[in-house]
Amino acid sequence: MMESQGHIWSKGLLYTLYATGVLLPFNLKVANYALGVFAAVYILVILKNFKACRFNFQLLYLPIIFFALYFIGLFYSSEIKNAFSDLGTKSTFLILPLLFSSGILPTDKFRFFRLSFIAGCLLVCLYNLTLSGIDYSKSGNANVFYYTSFSRIMHVQYMTIYLNLAVLFLINEMFDNGKNNRPVQILTVILIAFFFLNISLLDSRLATVVSYITSTLFTFLKIKTSGSILRFSIYAFLCILIIISVDYFSMRTNRFEQVSDLLANETNFYDFSKPEYSSTALRIPLWINAYQVIEDNPFMGVGTGDVRIALDSIYKKNGFKFAMEKKLNPHNQYLQTGVALGIVGITSLFAMLLIPIYYSIRYRHFLFLSLLIIFIFNMLTESILERQAGILIFSLLYSMFSVELNNSMAIEKISAVKQPIVTT
């Protein structure tokens, strides 16, 4: 009976994980609830199988340290309520690494989470297209298929990141599990094309470029380590052709012109008195103001709860009325962390992002490598780790991939120990 109950709890753990994968792209509170249930069941399973746990914090200690610094920042914050709210938002940086470090969840089940996530992204894309189609039938305005009008559920940059990950999961699935299954290969290519169409319509400038780069890089790395180089090279060529075709023929204006116009026409980035800004022109003044806050609080920052006060204060001092009225953050995660935690926080953030790159390359965990590249670059123009949409997917995948890497390291150590010593 006890074994049967344990089996039920283990099944429940897997089902809540898969449900979280489907719900995450919807950016709904129900996704948070599903993840909460997953964490609660995970704790119960750990308690029931505590003797079987083999806690391994290698790599997983990095997000825990990152969270710990925000917790320390609580103690020199004047706005305690804001600090606790931010800690709650970032709590998965602590909870998920602690849970996954137990080694209770079989890594072979992570594949089904990725498939669930792909299904969730597919449903969201169909939802966006359906609503845009309904709006187009009423207005005749094709712009409903474009940019913020098209993304009905979350910010375009976050949605592009999600679809970028879905494409990588599909490519990985084709290489690892669809080598001898032609229908699966065809379906995978069709889904990749569909997701790239949606990425193009979302038209988040940096996130779109990053999705093209990471998809191409990931495919190249998989081909290089695959036994069927010629066959997969053909699929890679088709995927690249799909990217170019979708991007060229999509119904969108060229938002990259904002960047070239800014560089060509803007002469004074320290003029904060403008009544309106484009999304591109706004970034640099925000970065300048955030950097000034860091200059005044270089080592430990202003504290976890006082970021809003510090930014509003510098906006007021510089006459940056537009940013103050909109309550804007720096739109750069590195500066955002620097304002809160100073150089210490920025160092921890870089460590969390850069240290696993070495191990990802060494042990050929190209999904982890791609995840890190996606977030490293997208953090340049958005405070990605300040919203649940960014935090949940990053901390969840980071924990999963760290466990897989830790297992690869452990296998290598065991193999090294078992290898016989040859004497002459």
Q: What is residue 12's DSSP assignment?
A: H
Does 123 have pLDDT greater than 80?
yes
pLDDT band at 330 (very low <50, low <70, confident <90, very high): very high
Query: Helix or strand or coil: residue 89?
Result: helix
Residue 219's alpha-carbon distances to 58, 67, 200, in angstroms, are 28, 33, 19
> CA–CA separation, 143 vs 282, rounded Å?
23
Structure tokens that stand for 341 in this block = 């935690």
Average pLDDT over residues 291-317: 95
Asked whether the CA dihedral 354, 360, 361, 362 is positive or negative, the reply is positive
Greatest mean pLDDT among 17-31, 167-181, 211-225, 372-386 lies in 372-386
* Residue 2 confidence (pLDDT): 38
* Residue 262 confidence (pLDDT): 56
Full-model pTM? 0.91
* Residue 1 confidence (pLDDT): 34
Does 138 have pLDDT greater than 60?
yes
Exposure string over 168-195, b if 16+ CB within 10 A, otherwise e: bbbbbbbbeebeeeeeebeebbebbbbb
Number of residues written out for the chain: 424
Does 142 have pLDDT greater than 90?
no
User: 249: alpha, beta or left, given left = phi > 0 and alpha = psi -120 to 50?
Assistant: alpha
Residue 196's alpha-carbon distances to 109, 113, 153, 159, in angstroms, are 27, 21, 18, 12
Domain ranges of the chain: 1-53
Average pLDDT over residues 388-411: 91
Q: What is residue 306's DSSP assignment?
A: -
pLDDT band at 9 (very low <50, low <70, confident <90, very high): confident
* Residue 3 confidence (pLDDT): 46
* Residue 313 confidence (pLDDT): 94
* Residue 250 confidence (pLDDT): 57
Greatest mean pLDDT among 91-95, 175-179, 264-268 lies in 91-95
Percent of the chain with pLDDT over 90: 53
> CA–CA separation, 284 vs 44, rounded Å?
48
pLDDT band at 22 (very low <50, low <70, confident <90, very high): very high
Average pLDDT over residues 320-342: 94
Average pLDDT over residues 337-347: 97
> CA–CA separation, 299 vs 307, rounded Å?
15
Query: Helix or strand or coil: residue 204?
Result: coil
Query: Helix or strand or coil: residue 85?
Result: helix
* Residue 8 confidence (pLDDT): 77
294 neighbors 339 (Cβ within 8 angstroms)? yes
> CA–CA separation, 389 vs 101, rounded Å?
23
DSSP string, 130-184: HHHHHHHHHH--GGGGSHHHH--SS-HHHHHHHHHHHHHHHHHHHHHH-TT-HHH
Q: Which residue has the higher pLDDT, 1 or 84?
A: 84
Residue 69's alpha-carbon distances to 93, 199, 300, in angstroms, are 11, 35, 9
Does 241 have pLDDT greater than 70?
no
pLDDT digits (tens, 9 = 90+) for 369-388: 999 999 999 999 999 999 99
- Widest CA span in the chain: 84
DSSP string, 235-271: HHHHHHHHHHHHHHHSS---TTHHHHHHHHH---TT-
pLDDT digits (tens, 9 = 90+) for 306-321: 999 999 999 999 999 9
Greatest mean pLDDT among 35-44, 148-157, 226-235, 295-304 lies in 295-304
